[in-house]
Amino acid sequence: VIGDLLRKISIIYCGQGFSHVISRHRPNGSILVKSGPYRVCRHPSYVGWIVWAYGFTFFLTTPLSFVVFTCVINKFFSERIYYEEKLLIKIYGDEYLEYMKDVPVGIPFVTPYPGD
């Protein structure tokens, strides 16, 4: 429940800038959201999804499935965030680089961009 709530709050804060598909271009009128849950971590909707999914997996599967799931999710989000952050740097430039310095990625064991 907590993970789902965090994900929904993150999506609301992101507003029209949110999409399930990573955009290669800056949507018209979009700004870099740095308030709400985005003050604490750069990818709160991913954190929310992971918390929800871990809870679901932990209670409904075997320990081995949980370990495999953890490895798969770690790889998926590492690659997705790396790609997404490269695009965000391209779109927002120095503003995003400063944001990266001030706000952690927010997902343990995921280092999406060299130097993070």
pTM exceeds 0.85, yes or no:
no
- pLDDT of 98: 96
User: Does 114 score more than 60 pLDDT?
Assistant: no
- In tens, the pLDDT along 22-80 reads 666 666 677 888 999 999 899 998 889 888 888 888 777 788 888 888 889 888 888 88
Asked if 104 contacts 42 with a C-beta cutoff of 8 angstroms, the reply is yes
Give residue 19's pLDDT band: very low, low, confident or very high (50, 70, 90).
low
- pLDDT of 93: 93
